[in-house]
Amino acid sequence: MTDIETVLALNTITKTYGKTTALKDVSLSIKKGEIVGLLGPNGAGKSTLFQIAAGLFAPDGGSVNVFGMTYQGQAAQILTRLGVVFQARAIDLDMTVIANLRFHAALFGLGGKSAEARIADVAALLEITDLIKKPVRTLSGGNQRRVEVARALLNKPDLLLMDEPTVGLDPVSRQLVVRHIRDVRDRNGTTILWATHLIEELAGADRIIMLRTGEIIQEGTPAELLARAGAATLTDAYIALTGAPEVEATPA
C-alpha cells in the first residue's frame, strides 16, 4: 500500500464457512477521517468482514492492510490503534461502568491518573459521566451501548470498527448513539467503519457500501446513491438500486 491516507484496505477478500461463501472478492478502502457505513441484510457478511478487518481471523484469500501494516507482520502495532465494538454485547454486567472502563484501560497499559483522565474524557464524550458508578446491569440498553463505545475509545483509536452498534435499541437511543459516533469523528478525526442493516442510520455517513450475499453491490456517498436511484430517501434508493427491500427502514 502506498497511499498514506488509506487507513483500512481489504483486497479481494474471500471467506467461506463450509459450503457458505460469506465474502466473495470483496475490496474496499477507507481513508483517514472517513465514516463509512457497511449496509446489508442479515447474512450479508458484515460481521465476517469486521472480524477479518479486526484481525480475529485471516481470510481464505486476499489481503488486509491496516495503517499500512498486516496482521501477519505487525498485529500488536495495529491492535493498539484499533477500537472495536462487537455485534454481541461484550461488557461485564455486574461490574460498574467505571470498573469496566478501568479494566480495559489496564489492558492498554493505562493506570493511575492517566487512566482516570482518559476515562473522564471518554465518559464526557459519550455523556455517561453521571452513570459511571452504576452497575452496567442497571443501565438501559442504549446506555450500555454508549459504555461499550466509550470503552472502545480508551486507547484513542485511529480506526473504530463497529458491528451494528445500535442493534436492539429503541429509536431515541439509536439516534443518540449515532450522534455520539459522529461526534467522535468530528472531534478526534477517528476513521470509522460502521455496519448496520438500518439504512436511515447512514444518512450522515461519508460513504455507504452495500453488501449482499458476500458481495459489494453498490457504493457511494448518500447523495450519490440518491441521485443514482433518482430516489428521495435512502430506503427508496436501496430498493431501487438492489431491487431488494430487505434492509429495514428505521421505524419513525
Residue 250, all three cell numbers: 428505521
Of 42 and 138, CB closest to ligand ADP: 42
Say how many residues touch ligand ADP, by CB under 6 A.
Answer: 11
Q: Which residues of this chain interact with Mg ion, rule CB under 5 A? A: 46-47, 87
Out of Mg ion, ligand ADP, none, what residue 165 binds, judged by CB under 5 to 8 A for its kind, is: none
Cα separation of 109 and 121, whole Å?
17
Residue 74 engages ligand ADP in binding (rule: CB under 6 A):
no
Which of 156, 160, 149 shows the shortest CA–CA distance to 117?
156
Closest distance between ligand ADP and the C-beta of residue 244, in Å? 14
Q: Is 44 left (phi over 0), alpha (psi -120 to 50) or beta?
A: alpha
Neighbours of 115 (CB within 10 A): 18
Residue 62 engages ligand ADP in binding (rule: CB under 6 A):
no
Of 102 and 197, CB closest to Mg ion: 197
Q: Is 243 left (phi over 0), alpha (psi -120 to 50) or beta?
A: left
Out of Mg ion, ligand ADP, none, what residue 222 binds, judged by CB under 5 to 8 A for its kind, is: none
Point out which span in 39-47, 151-159, 217-225, 243-251 binds ligand ADP (CB under 6 A): 39-47
Q: Residue 111 corresponds to which amino acid? A: G
Of 17 and 232, CB closest to ligand ADP: 17
Longest dimension (CA), the chain: 55
Which of 157, 155, 201, 158 shows the shortest CA–CA distance to 182?
201
Which residue of 2, 4, 17, 19 would you call a contact of ligand ADP, by CB under 6 A?
17
Residue ranges that bind ligand ADP, judged by CB under 6 A: 17, 20, 22, 40, 42-48
